[in-house]
Structure 1
Amino acid sequence: MTLTPMCLCFLTRPAPDGGREVLLGRKKTGFGTGKIVGLGGHVEPNETAVQAAAREIAEESGLIVAVGDLREAASITFRFPLKPVWDMQVDVFVGDRFTGDASESEEIAPRWYPTDELPAQGMWDDNQYWLPQVLEGQRLRAEFVFADDCETVAKTQIVPAPKTQPE
């Protein structure tokens, strides 16, 4: 079974209290309905992961972000032994330059959250293991294997990602 190529993008901005906020959204349809997730989705044929991330941000929130303003943050493999059709390879990007105001789409109800108060109870279980580090600027490679309930992480492997050379 091949891994489905996916992307996630986490936009951040200064918070009124001097901290940082991250854009997340409550999933309204499809995989993960009801969960609070990062914005993103499938990487289409003839599209790079970073192009997909910028496109998904626009489709799901109305925000416009330039591909060049997104930084690679993580490469994560998700495995669901009981539902291998859900297995995916996700490229994660972070950015803090964008234009527009986030608005609700058919798929996502976006909302800004303090980066130090992530809504972990409403998110996929894996987020607690890697998202705070990514939002602090770390680069990671990770693999998560979910338990038979397809909700709980059964096994994790997280390592620092090698630095990439600037293009």
Structure 2
Amino acid sequence: MKQQFTLMADYNAWMNDNLYRLAAGLDEGDRSRDLGAFFGSIEGTLNHILVADIMWMNRFRVHPARYRCLDALEPFPAPKALAETLYSSFAELHRARDTMDRIIIDLIEVSDEQDYAVPLHYRNVKGEPLTRAFGPLLMHLFNHQTHHRGQATTLFYQLGVDVGVTDLLVRIPDQGPATPDR
């Protein structure tokens, strides 16, 4: 699983960098215009992804491995709702996203296969207690990001912005020269 999580952390940071770069090139009105997505706008969608990441990464702090890299979460706000606006400017949101992506990469680097089977006890946003294995929760973190980034790419297209290639495939390392089909 570690190899897959390493790939997903890389893909996550790469895609976030691409989308934030494109969003920074939009004027504020287009970036924050409600286009009918779950979280309204491009900025609202990107904000939601960060909100959920903060919530999940803070839940991961209870892992018995006590990952020191998660201490870097201290400066982040503690969101109470999934649509809570975290920062007053897009530049601040962008800096926070870059920091979060580094924390996620660091977490994957220091975690190991045994860690992924450990059950984590946490509360969801409704306050309900839950227990699930750490590995599948990490998988959910990455899947959630991909889901909402897909929505963001649709919003970019609605504004006439081509986001380019978004496939995970481009981040999968090449394994050498192709062999002819038999």
Q: Shorter-chain TM-score: what band?
A: under 0.3
Q: Comparing both structures, which one devotes a greater share of its residues to helix? A: 2
**What's the TM-score once normalised by structure 2's chain length?**
0.25
Q: Comparing both structures, which one devotes a greater share of its residues to strand? A: 1
Bigger Rg over Cα:
2
**What's the TM-score once normalised by structure 1's chain length?**
0.26
